[in-house]
Amino acid sequence: MPRPNQSPRGNTTLQAKETLFADLVQGRAQQFQVPLYQRTYSWTEKQLRQLWSDILEQTELLEGGKKGSTHFLGSVVLAPSPQNEATFPRWLVVDGQQRLTTLSLALAAIRDHIRDTEPDEAERIDEEYLINKRKGGSDHFRLLPTQADRPQFAAHIRGPLAEQSADGSVAAAYNFFRRKLVEAADPAAPQDVFRIEQAITSRLTLVAVTAERGDNVHRIFESLNNTGLKLSQADLLRNYLFMKLHTRAEHVYETYWLPLQDSLSNEELEQLMWLQLVLDGDDRVRRQDLYAAQQQRLERGEASETEIEAYIRELHRRAALFRRLLHPEEEADASVRAHLRRLDAWQAQVTYPALMLLLDRRERGELDSSDTARAMSYIESFLVRRMICRVPTNNLNRIFQAVPGQLPLDVPVADGLHQLLSADNRFWPDDDELREKIQKAPFYQFGRSQQRKMVLQRLEESYEHPEPVDFTAAQLTIEHVMPQSPGDEWLRMLSEEVADGESVEDLHSRLQHTLGNLTLTAVNLELSNHPFERKQGLLQGSHLEMNRRIAATERWGAKEVRARAGELADRAIALWPAPLRGVGRAERSRDWHLAHQVLAALPHGTWTSYGDLAAFLGSGAQAVGNHLASTPRVANAYRVLTSEGKVSEGFRWTSENEGGDVRSRLIADGVRFTVSGAADPAQRLTADDLAVLVAENDGQADSEDVAQRTLGDGEGEETRADSFFRQLAADDSPETVEAVRALFARWEHLGGWIGHGAGHVTTSAFLMLGEAGAPGRGIWPLTLYPGGGRGGTAEVVFQYLAAREPFTDRALRAELLRRLNELEDVDIPEGKLELRPSFRLSVLKKDRNRELLAETLEWFRNCWESREAA
């Protein structure tokens, strides 16, 4: 243990030592108390995601048998509690309660995750980290949060929950870890849950600062946190390198470093330094450990000035290659340049280790530009096929960082990369899986918007039209041929093809987002939700070959969507090379794993149907029912009901640890029932809602629409504002249109502005605050959409707000929900607080509703401005 340190303030003595969570909380009975004056638990999903990423990195190090560096989590400042006893130590947690609470909830989630299969291990986790087994009352808990959090925290530590707790950050954190543990069982890269436990307890380091009774712990905390601007890893490494260059520093700086520094930003330079380590065979180094890892390499060999100069010279050489990844136009070969452009549009930074290796080997003469392009086609195919087939992206970093060290040495580079990516644990979908997913999977709901557009663009280019479209200049967006909000004419046509036991809504839900029903167009505004006959004429005049082929069909129903999906599958198979044959696949288990993930993520007070889950998966409702009936321990399986909100007649509990009346369990989970005995349809999550639950965009807007303040594109053209109101008037009463105009005027009076969508599926309107065009500065509570046949709606963007201050605080989002529900005929269930629920704009015809909404918007503005001023 370190010797006591003198505090910078007075004669206070304290001990500071590095420790692990296990060492801090294990051992004899003790308790860590969060003082009542401390703020409540407030970590949001942003902090939880970062911690989970750090945990998985440490888990991978453990699984690989490598020591690596532990992850420093931060400090914990402790002081003896006034209630301290010699036989039962109690500590006040002056700082660090957020970390301790989060780690405790993560371990509680692990305990509950394994309780059915490993009851002894679950009990061990409980007794080692969470409870004082022989103590009662509040002394039973190793960590005792502040009073406001105590009931909820205690409910989760006692576990398993007989009834979910819907509110608060504690419940949100616990549910986050439950979801992530289901996700960690991904067949593509399964994580051992006990390795995850070990990473949490023994690989996350803390500095425990322990004060003595009577010490001014607040002043200690202030002095510990009085730090300046943190140096980057690149800054640290640069300083170290030039400190070692005693005689040649000036020459090396002017010849190599200064041009290097001028050609790359500091962040890009840091990334290049990291890539150099990876290319040299260090397949586990993290960017945040760059300085320590490179320093270790140089000092291990007692590097001379000549060797340090050689290292910097190599950085300088590789910088020119790295710039081609950042700026593909600097690549001379047309074919290689085209691949780099597409990968850049894909935002495929994760592939940089492999791309740098290819460019490096080409420069060394080990492969030509033709083979370089062929190798890049394998990388592109690997990404595209996995995206179309909805393979999770959580192991891509590990796959591509390992390429330089794992590339076979006995075959040409391009062939070696093909072989390496085809390994059975890489999950590169073959032709059969690709064809199945193109025909059945909801393509529109996976990946990023620019990735989906790139896939459609490549498919269009495959037609090799004699006058190809300039995609850079064209303002193209993705259009649903069969609309997302179909009118009666569309539904009548679909009803002719409905299978037994399926509703027309179920059929539409299964087909609407599949690739066969999607195209690119610049005339979405005109296409909108009109009948197919009107769309035909507009598509016929398109410069895109895929649109002309759609226009050439007589109707557009299920048969035509499936036929086009088959044609596009043929083209995709030809465009994107397949993996080498002879490797095992686990496609179906991946699909079911995705089902388990989304069911684990169901919020309190919600349910879904077999048809909704099937549409989300690209499967059939019967197959979903069969899987849930035969697979034990699927979280929330009993919350999958028929489309009418009834428990399926074939439902059976699959585990002896489950049981009881299903309706009682649903009521305990916050699901309401109507007088007819059906689950409340307002609490039902559609396939689109399920997609939001497991979206990878961190709650940020990932839409074809982007709010812009610009109202028109040129003199004499219809402005976007006019377009919005024209579409709204076509579908809603004049009273509704005037009510929306009044709402916009009130919003502008409050200091907001109205943005309009740059995409034109429909012309949306955003109630904006902040500076127009300033990244990260704007925020909006509502997005308004014309109805397209079913009445205009206001979408409440809870999912987006969850990542924007100050609304990362769930209590503020809950208050927004409460205020909106005061409007007559608005009843948004609390279970949709993480989603994007809507209400009809027609409710604004009532004066009282308009006034309540205006008051709510003023409250929203005040919350945001208070945060901006802080």
Tens-digit pLDDT profile for residues 200-247? 999 999 988 888 766 655 555 555 444 444 567 888 888 788 878 888
pLDDT at 217: 53
DSSP-assigned beta bridge partners for residue 304: none
Cα(93)–Cα(99) distance, rounded to whole angstroms?
A: 11
> What is the average per-residue pLDDT within 70-85?
86
How much is the pLDDT for 783?
Answer: 93
Q: What's the rounded Cα separation, in Å, for the pair 828 and 808?
A: 19
For the chain, the 3-state helix, strand and coil shares in percent, each to the nearest 5, are 50, 10, 40
pLDDT for 712 beyond 70:
no
Asked whether the predicted pLDDT for residue 700 surpasses 50, the reply is no
Confidence at residue 711, expressed as pLDDT on a 0 to 100 scale: 42
26 close to 143: Cβ distance less than 8 angstroms: no
Residue 703 above 50 pLDDT?
A: no
Strand 640-641 relative to strand 765-768, pairing? unpaired
Span 93-115, average pLDDT: 93
Burial class of 462 by CB neighbour count within 10 A (0 to 12, 13 to 18, 19+): middle
The partner residues of 607 in beta bridges, in order of sequence, read 684
What is the separation of C-alpha 544 from the centre of its chain, rounded to a whole number of angstroms?
33
402-412 residue pLDDT tens:
899 888 888 89
Element (H, E) at 707: strand 707-708
pLDDT at 420 over 70: yes
pLDDT confidence of 60, banded at 50, 70, 90?
confident
Q: What's the pLDDT score for residue 167?
A: 67
What is the pTM (predicted TM-score) of this model?
0.75
How far apart, in Å, do the first and last CA atoms of the chain sit? 41
Q: Residue 661 — pLDDT band, cuts 50, 70, 90?
A: confident
Fold of the domain spanning 587-693: Arc Repressor Mutant, subunit A (1.10.10)
**Model confidence band, residue 6 (pLDDT cutoffs 50, 70, 90):** very low
Which 3 state secondary structure label does DSSP give 631? coil
Q: How far apart are CA 110 and CA 38, in angstroms?
A: 27
Has residue 297 got a pLDDT over 90?
no
Neighbours of 96 (CB within 10 A): 22
Q: Across the chain, what does the average pLDDT equal?
A: 85
CA 656, distance to chain mean position in Å, is 35
What pLDDT is attached to residue 715?
A: 43
For residue 129, give both structure tokens: 């980290």
Q: Which residue has the tokens 């309660």?
A: 97
Beta bridge partners of 765: 756, 784
CA-CA-CA-CA dihedral for 378, 380, 381, 384, to nearest 10 = 160
CB 78 within 8 A of CB 208: yes
Question: How confident is the model over 245-258, as pLDDT tens digits?
Answer: 888 888 998 899 98
Q: State residue 207 phi and psi, 5-degree precision.
A: -105, 115
- Band of residue 5 on the pLDDT scale cut at 50, 70, 90: very low
- Could you give the residue range(s) of every CATH 1.10.10.10 domain in the chain? 587-693
The pLDDT, as a whole number, for residue 815 is 95
Q: Does position 105 have pLDDT exceeding 90, yes or no?
A: yes
* Residues 457, 342: Cα–Cα separation, whole Å: 10
For the cut 60, the answer to whether the pLDDT of residue 489 exceeds it is yes
Least confident span in 39-48, 439-448, 557-566, 750-759 = 750-759
pLDDT attached to residue 18: 87
Q: For the segment 794-850, what is each residue's pLDDT rounded down to a tens digit?
A: 999 998 898 888 898 888 999 999 999 999 999 999 989 989 999 999 999 999 999
